[in-house]
Structure 1
Amino acid sequence: MTNYHDQVPFTIDATFSDAVFAENPEPRCPCILLLDTSGSMSGEPIAQLNNGLLQTFKSELMADEMALKRIELAVVTFGPVEVISEFQSADTFNPPTLKANHDTPIG
């Protein structure tokens, strides 16, 4: 019998061409944004999360030249687990608009 709260394994395949590294030889720093989109986030909480991603996180990221060269971003949500965006360079990151749904599987 499977426990409802057991972790569901998933993988993210990130492939980069040699040309990407030739243009930007900076070391990479993978960053996964793990975001709650369960039902308990409906209303104001999900609106604040979306605003924080678009206004604060994106603008701070774009203002940091070192981060733009080094950070590779992926977005994963839980409630349930879903890969929203695969790894991509910070300069091409466009925050998704998230919606709260499903049950709250934590707490």
Structure 2
Amino acid sequence: MDRRLPIYLLIDSSGSMRGEPIESVNVGISAMLSALRQDPYALETVHISIITFDNQVKELVPLQALETAHIDDIELPRSGATHLGEGLHFVCDRIARDVRTSTDHQKGDFRPMLFVMTDGSPSDLMAFNSAVERLKGVEFAQIIACAAGPKARTQELKRFATQTVSLEHMDSSSFANYFQWVSASIAASASGQQQDDDQDIDLPPPPDEVQVVI
């Protein structure tokens, strides 16, 4: 059985992302997939899932091979809450269902990576608090959280992410550079996992538009 590298993208689809931000996210995700499909290590191991959250959580792409993944544009409601907590719980549920664990006879999948993007703060605080605790029991390779725009709050993201970054501007150039970095990070993990077998992987430094939050 081939070992997979599960990649989960959890994207804010609340109404505040309407317009250029979500259009840029859609373009960025498409470019990310195209770039990863040019990388032999990623093409061999990466399986990807895309989940959105607003006042509802939607699984746009169940975990599937990079080679066959087809992603429709993310569409937004006119308004609504930002249920980040529910989104994180949903990711945990899917990991428990989809990610193969090791047995005495064979190794399971590589540790999953989770990329979270939001332009606000969670409006489901009880669910968010319980999700933060639940995430501690999931063995991730990395959890990268991106605070997009001036209204995004990094304090909540830092509670669960292994690395938190911010985008000051929500324009097409900023999102393009962010998703290029995501693509490079996934490719580095895919290559490193195959060569070093579950060791922690150093991700490439983010571009200037993507600020690391200390």
Q: TM-score, normalised by structure 1?
A: 0.70
SS in 2 for 1:96: coil
Mapped to 2, the partners of 1:104 and 1:41 lie a distance apart of 12
Residue 82 (structure 1) aligned with residue 58 (structure 2): yes
C-alpha displacement of 1:97 = 0.7
Matched pairs, number = 82
C-alpha displacement of 1:72 = 1.0
Mapped to 1, the partners of 2:20 and 2:62 lie a distance apart of 27
* Residue matched to 2:24: 48
Mapped to 1, the partners of 2:42 and 2:81 lie a distance apart of 33
Distance of aligned partners of 1:104 and 1:40 in 2 relative to their CA distance in 1, 3 Å threshold: farther
Residue 103 (structure 1) aligned with residue 80 (structure 2): yes
Aligned pairs for 1:1-107 within 5 A: 21=1, 25=2, 27-54=3-30, 56-79=31-54, 80-101=56-77, 102-105=79-82, 106-107=120-121
C-alpha displacement of 1:81 = 1.1
Mapped to 2, the partners of 1:76 and 1:63 lie a distance apart of 24
CA RMSD for the aligned pairs? 1.4
TM-superposition CA deviations, 1:37-68 (whole Å, max 9, x none): 110110111100111011x2111111111111
Mapped to 2, the partners of 1:83 and 1:59 lie a distance apart of 21
The residue type equivalent to 2:52 in the other structure is T
The residue type equivalent to 2:32 in the other structure is F
Q: Give unmatched runs, 5+ long, in structure 2.
A: 83-119, 122-214
Aligned-residue identity in percent: 30
The residue type equivalent to 1:57 in the other structure is M
C-alpha displacement of 1:95 = 2.2
Higher relative CO (Cα under 8 Å, sequence separation at least 6) belongs to 1
Conserved in 2, the CA contact under 8 Å of 1:33 and 1:75? yes
Mapped to 2, the partners of 1:104 and 1:69 lie a distance apart of 38
Name segments (4+ residues, structure 1) moved above 2 Å.
none
The residue type equivalent to 1:46 in the other structure is I
